[in-house]
């Protein structure tokens, strides 16, 4: 049996202000694969992930996830779809005043009827799912700490556990380590390695540093100005390729919407942290 | 000139009335201020809702409390009831604005993240918005209570009940010994209100 294709894009285009900010001729990702996306700032990595999550509607083309088009515009089905697609990014986005436990429990909300979540009653099954996720990220000793008192690495682990408790099929991680120092970044990436196996996830992860991509990915995809310009195995990604990929594209990540704008703000530490290519220099 | 403690009875009744006026007024005001505050939050409602609500609340804030009390006294007669209404209306203007500003200032990203897990809108409000704004809401309510208590001690000047009414009465009769006792009571009451409000807020941070 050939491996099942879980994501299939055909001529998918996202157009903004008269420019194709994303334009993918063809992309197929199979179930269980770990794919890393690299590329300059503004190359379209976030756009791609937000499109797969169902936040952005493709201007044209075909986007098929888990055997069906993304149920855009259908509120009820969208909720079920969201549940299947876990997403995190560099800002953790936890409810800071709430406990680690409560934040991880939020991953269950999509499954729990309103009245039960309103009364704050977890049933045993939910509790076990959350506990397993917390053990997986090694935070089961900090259940009742409020999230904002945790370190950045710990907060990202809570965010990962929240996504795991959601029991997703696909895990989208948009620059999950851009706010963490290099040692912690490697830690979190290794954690992604373990959870992908334990939860049989398909992982799409975008990273600023090519060597981090090599560490985690089965396949690396390089993007430039919204297009896929290279893909291959981690060992095929040579230094020349890297400099080609990070060569200045026509676009430089200007003029994003307000929400994403604030995201870009914190992003600069990672570039060249290990004497690597500095996008935009 | 020693204080005249024969007013003890009056003092007790008037203090209680002031306290009751404050509590009733503050909570009546809060009852309207929260929903109106949500309506006035520009990130939750369209401009044709939040702009008029905001303007109405600003208009209310611009009327001094004593004038409000005077208006209500002439509308519903003397006593603590117009005091309650004046405090309530004033609180809607002030609290509603804080509610709106607090909601506008909440970080939308955690809310989007919750929605991204598959939570419904109502779940996002309950588990995302309310936990983020609740402590500030309670703190504002405590401060409003403390300030309303101070304000309602003088409402009696325009006939809206409470300690102020007797202070004014004894001043007119030149009974300084009694006036002094009531002033002491006002100081004590205001101080106690601040203490309670401080205790509540301390516990929230
Ligand atoms: N709503 C929008 N309107 C106009 N342009 C947009 C919009 N959203 C994204 N863009 C543009 O699309 C391009 C791709 O942005 P995207 O955020 O996907 O890049 P990225 O690869 O994630 O970059 P980074 O590494 O900085 O996160 C950028 O040039 C951006 O300015
Ligand atoms: Mg991005």
Residues B53-101: tens digit of each pLDDT: 999 999 999 999 999 999 999 999 888 899 999 999 999 999 999 999 9
Q: Among A93, A159, A164, which would you mutate to test the B interface (most chain B Cβ atoms within 10 Å of its Cβ)? A: A93
The chain-wide mean pLDDT, for chain B, equals: 90
- Mind listing the domains of chain B with CATH numbers? 5-204 (1.10.3720.10)
Ordered per-residue pLDDT tens for chain A, 281 residues: 567 899 999 999 999 998 999 999 999 999 999 999 999 888 999 999 999 999 999 999 999 999 999 988 888 888 899 999 999 988 889 999 899 999 999 999 989 888 787 887 778 889 999 999 999 999 989 999 999 999 988 999 999 999 999 999 999 999 999 888 888 899 899 999 999 999 999 999 999 888 899 989 999 999 999 999 999 998 888 888 888 888 764 444 443 433 443 332 222 222 222 222 223 32
Within-domain flag for A172:
yes
φ/ψ of B193, rounded to 5, equals: -60, -45
H or E element at residue A202 = strand A202-206
The alpha carbon torsion through A213, A200, A121, B125 (nearest 10 deg) reads 40
In this prediction, residue B1 has a pLDDT band, given cuts at 50, 70 and 90, of low
Instruction: Quote the CA–CA distance of B127 and B62 in Å, as a whole number.
Output: 35
Instruction: Quote the CA–CA distance of A107 and A159 in Å, as a whole number.
Output: 9
Within-domain flag for A281:
no
Please say whether the beta carbons of A157 and A186 come within 8 A: no
Within-domain flag for A49:
yes
Range of the domain at A84: 5-258
- Is the pLDDT at B175 greater than 90? The verdict is no
Residue A208 has a pLDDT of: 86
The residue written with tokens 């024969």 in the block is B6
Within-domain flag for A188:
yes
User: Which ligand has the minimum distance to the alpha carbon of residue A265?
Assistant: 1
Q: What is the distance in angstroms between the Cα of A152 and the nearest Cα belonging to chain B?
A: 15
Indicate the top mutation candidate among A18, A40, A44 to test ligand 1's pocket, ranked by most ligand atoms within 8 A of CB: A44
Q: How many distinct structural domains can be found in chain A?
A: 1
Within-domain flag for A211:
yes
Instruction: Quote the CA–CA distance of B128 and B112 in Å, as a whole number.
Output: 9
Find the residues whose C-beta lies inside 6 A of ligand 1: A 16-17, 21, 39, 41-47, 251, 253-257, 260, 264
Please say whether the beta carbons of B92 and B36 come within 8 A: yes
H or E element at residue A255 = none
- Is the pLDDT at B195 greater than 50? The verdict is yes
Residue A273 has a pLDDT of: 27
Within-domain flag for A15:
yes
Chain A residues interacting with chain B (CB cutoff of 8 angstroms) = 53, 79-80, 82-83, 86-87, 91, 93-98, 102, 106-107, 109-111, 114, 117-118, 159, 162-163, 166, 259
- Is the pLDDT at B185 greater than 60? The verdict is yes
Within-domain flag for A277:
no
The residue written with tokens 């050939």 in the block is A2
pTM, 2 dp:
0.78
Q: What is the CATH number of the domain that holds A156?
A: 3.40.50.300
Q: What is the distance in angstroms between the Cα of B92 and the nearest Cα belonging to chain A?
A: 27
- Region B45-51: mean pLDDT is 92
Contacts of B134 (CB under 8 A, 6+ apart): none
H or E element at residue B68 = helix B65-76
What distance, in Å, lies between the first and last C-alpha atoms of chain B? Answer: 46
Q: Which of B108, B110, B122 sits opposite A94 (nearest CB)?
A: B110
Within-domain flag for A280:
no
Question: Which two tokens mark A169?
Answer: 């099929």
Q: Is residue A11 classed as helix, strand or coil in its secondary structure?
A: strand
Q: Which of A82, A97, A98 sits opposite B117 (nearest CB)?
A: A82
Instruction: Quote the CA–CA distance of B42 and A280 in Å, as a whole number.
Output: 37
The verdict on a CB contact (< 8 Å) between A107 and B117 is: yes
Residue A1 has a pLDDT of: 58
Instruction: Quote the CA–CA distance of A120 and A100 in Å, as a whole number.
Output: 15
Residue A248 has a pLDDT of: 66
């Amino acid at each position: 049996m050939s491996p099942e294709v879980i994501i299939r894009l055909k001529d998918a285009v996202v157009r903004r202000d008269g420019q194709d900010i994303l334009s993918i001729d063809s992309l197929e990702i199979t179930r269980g694969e770990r794919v890393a996306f690299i590329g300059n700032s503004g190359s379209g990595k976030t756009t791609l992930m937000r499109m797969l999550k169902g936040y952005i509607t493709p201007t044209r083309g075909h986007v098929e996830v888990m055997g069906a088009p993304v149920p855009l515009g259908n509120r009820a089905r969208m909720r079920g779809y969201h549940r299947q697609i876990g997403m995190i990014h560099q800002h953790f986005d936890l409810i800071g005043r709430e406990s680690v436990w409560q934040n991880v429990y939020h991953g269950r909300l999509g499954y729990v009827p309103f009245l039960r979540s309103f009364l704050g009653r977890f049933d045993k099954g939910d509790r076990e799912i959350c506990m397993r996720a917390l053990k997986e990220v090694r935070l089961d000793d900090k259940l009742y700490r409020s999230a904002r008192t945790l370190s950045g690495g710990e907060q990202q682990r809570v965010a990962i556990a929240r996504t795991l408790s959601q029991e997703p099929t696909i895990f989208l991680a948009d620059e999950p380590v851009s706010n963490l120092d290099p040692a912690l970044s490697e830690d979190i990436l290794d954690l992604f390695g373990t959870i992908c196996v334990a939860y049989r996830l398909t992982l799409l992860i975008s990273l600023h540093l090519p060597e981090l991509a090599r560490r985690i990915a089965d396949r690396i995809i390089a993007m430039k100005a919204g297009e896929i310009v290279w893909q291959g195995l981690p060992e095929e990604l040579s230094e020349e390729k890297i400099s080609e990929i990070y060569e200045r594209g026509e676009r430089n990540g200007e003029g994003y919407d307000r929400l994403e704008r604030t995201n870009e703000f914190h992003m600069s530490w990672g570039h060249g942290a290990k004497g690597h290519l500095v996008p935009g220099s | 000139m020693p204080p005249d403690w024969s007013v003890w009875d009056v003092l007790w009744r008037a203090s209680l009335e002031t306290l009751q006026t404050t509590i009733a007024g503050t909570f009546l005001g809060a009852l309207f201020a929260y929903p109106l505050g949500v309506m006035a939050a520009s990130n939750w409602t369209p401009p044709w809702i939040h702009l008029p609500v905001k303007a109405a609340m600003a208009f209310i804030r611009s009327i001094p409390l004593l004038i409000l009390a005077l208006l209500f006294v002439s509308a519903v007669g003397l006593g603590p009831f117009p005091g309650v209404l004046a405090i309530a209306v004033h609180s809607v203007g002030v609290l509603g604005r804080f509610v709106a500003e607090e909601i506008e200032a909440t970080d939308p990203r955690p809310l989007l993240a919750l929605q991204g897990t598959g939570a419904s809108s109502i779940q996002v409000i309950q588990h995302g918005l309310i936990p983020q704004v609740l402590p500030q809401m309670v703190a504002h309510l405590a401060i409003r209570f403390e300030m309303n208590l101070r304000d309602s001690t003088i409402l009696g000047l325009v006939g809206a009940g409470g300690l102020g009414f007797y202070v004014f009465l004894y001043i007119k009769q030149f009974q300084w010994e009694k006036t002094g006792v009531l002033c002491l009571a006002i100081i004590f009451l205001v101080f106690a209100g601040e203490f309670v409000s401080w205790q509540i807020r301390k516990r929230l941070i």
